């Protein structure tokens, strides 16, 4: 989809490397102290009672550890983990087959649960509440509902768009944990652990350099660590230090703020081609040669959070910080330079940006 370092696509070798550094237990999970403490109480109290805990929902941006926490939940409970995703469940029968195959104490993980099909979602309600599903046999007036029991299980859902979950679905989760972006010191601690597991020689300064460019996201931090390791082994002495980190990240087009090629292409188009905006999403995507979904879901969240881009009812606008980041002087009236009000955070079609 894109050559961005934040692309979710990865080779099997990359996936194996990411799996090797995943924490296996709550005690190994770095940061997210509040969610970790709440989860520890929930799981350990359920173990003492000898019953499955309430169903769990994790929300947050990609790469913050939702899948890892689902694996940890299964490990802490001592149950098997079954994994699927919302888009993969197109029919209620698909979900019924998964649910009826679960054993007592199993953990069912549904990634991107907000994208589950409506018929399957309605089937899931009774499974979550009563551990029972009604499978329809036949069509029309002669259709018959056959009730099937489901072994007590724990559902762990993950979503990057919590606002798209229906109210009935959200209400059936007994625990909702929102994962925040990591601070640079938290990412540094995570990278030190990853370096030990991968056998990478690294200095604290080199680790800190990578952490500061990782956009608050562990998945990106671990990926950049591997790229810097590759560079250090090929063109240096094999040690990840400040100089090798800076040189490697320059090769991979990751700047001091963590912006990569696509991020900077969006900002340059917005500033140099459209005078800072406002400009519509589709027009901006055409200018950088990407799909609108890629720009909106992969690029914009970080640029908005970094204060480099704003969404207004008329389109995307580059802030004064964006102009300065590109080495240009922002004109008067740019958001952040002489502007009297901040732009309302709306999408391009005028709807609230949720």
**24: annotated active-site residue:** no
Candidate list 172, 213, 215, 219, residue with the active-site label: 219
Candidate list 67, 154, 312, 334, residue with the active-site label: 67
Both structure tokens of 24: 């296996």
**139: annotated active-site residue:** no
Residue where the block lists tokens 């002495």? 237
User: Of the candidates 243, 236, 235, 317, which has an alpha carbon nearest to the alpha carbon of residue 274?
Assistant: 317
Other Cβ atoms within 10 Å of 166 Cβ, number: 13
Candidate list 2, 154, 159, 160, residue with the active-site label: 160
User: Hey, is 90 helix, strand or coil?
Assistant: coil
User: Of the candidates 241, 116, 98, 127, which has an alpha carbon nearest to the alpha carbon of residue 166?
Assistant: 116
Q: Cβ distance 323 to 334 under 8 Å?
A: yes
Other Cβ atoms within 10 Å of 236 Cβ, number: 15
Candidate list 66, 213, 311, 316, residue with the active-site label: 66
Distance CA 19, CA 3 (A): 21
User: Of the candidates 299, 317, 223, which has an alpha carbon nearest to the alpha carbon of residue 261?
Assistant: 299
Distance CA 213, CA 210 (A): 5
**111: annotated active-site residue:** yes
Q: Cβ distance 152 to 131 under 8 Å?
A: yes
Distance CA 174, CA 70 (A): 15
**166: annotated active-site residue:** no
Kindly provide the residue ranges of all beta strands, DSSP E only, lying in the chain, ordered along the sequence.
Answer: 56-59, 81-85, 107-111, 132-137, 144-149, 154-159, 175-178, 309-312, 315-318
Q: Cβ distance 146 to 135 under 8 Å?
A: yes
Candidate list 2, 106, 111, 260, residue with the active-site label: 111
**354: annotated active-site residue:** no
Please identify every residue annotated as catalytic: 66-67, 111, 160, 219
């Amino acid at each position: 989809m894109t050559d961005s370092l934040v692309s979710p696509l990865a080779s099997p070798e990359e996936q194996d490397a990411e799996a090797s550094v995943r924490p296996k237990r709550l005690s190994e999970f770095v940061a997210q102290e509040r969610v970790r403490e709440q989860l520890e109480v929930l799981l350990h109290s359920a173990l003492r009672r000898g019953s499955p805990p309430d169903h769990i929902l994790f929300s947050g941006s990609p790469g913050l550890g939702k899948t890892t926490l689902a694996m940890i939940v299964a490990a802490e409970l001592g149950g098997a983990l079954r994994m699927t995703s919302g888009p993969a469940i197109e029919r209620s029968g698909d979900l019924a087959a998964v649910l009826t195959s679960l054993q007592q104490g199993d953990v069912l993980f549904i990634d991107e649960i907000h994208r589950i099909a409506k018929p399957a979602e309605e089937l899931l309600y009774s499974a979550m509440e009563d551990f029972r599903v009604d499978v329809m046999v036949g069509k029309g007036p002669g259709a018959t509902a056959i009730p099937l029991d489901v072994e007590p299980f724990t559902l762990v859902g993950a979503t990057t768009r919590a606002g798209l979950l229906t109210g009935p679905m959200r209400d059936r989760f007994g625990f909702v944990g929102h994962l925040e972006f990591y601070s640079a010191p938290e990412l540094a601690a995570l990278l030190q652990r990853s370096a030990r597991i991968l056998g990478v020689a690294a200095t604290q300064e080199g680790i800190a350099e990578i952490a500061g460019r990782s956009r608050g996201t562990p998945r990106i931090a671990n990926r950049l660590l591997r790229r810097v390791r590759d560079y250090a082994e090929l063109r240096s002495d094999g040690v990840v230090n400040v100089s090798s980190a800076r040189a490697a990240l320059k090769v991979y087009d990751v700047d001091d703020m963590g912006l990569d090629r696509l991020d900077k292409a969006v900002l340059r188009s917005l500033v140099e081609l459209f005078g800072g905006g406002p400009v519509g999403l589709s027009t901006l995507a055409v200018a950088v040669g990407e799909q609108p979904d890629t720009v909106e879901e992969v690029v914009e969240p970080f640029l908005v959070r970094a204060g480099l881009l704003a969404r207004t009812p008329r389109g995307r606008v580059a802030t004064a910080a964006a102009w300065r980041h590109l080495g240009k002087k922002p004109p008067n009236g740019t958001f952040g330079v002489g502007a009297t009000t901040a732009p309302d955070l709306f999408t391009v079609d005028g709807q609230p940006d949720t």
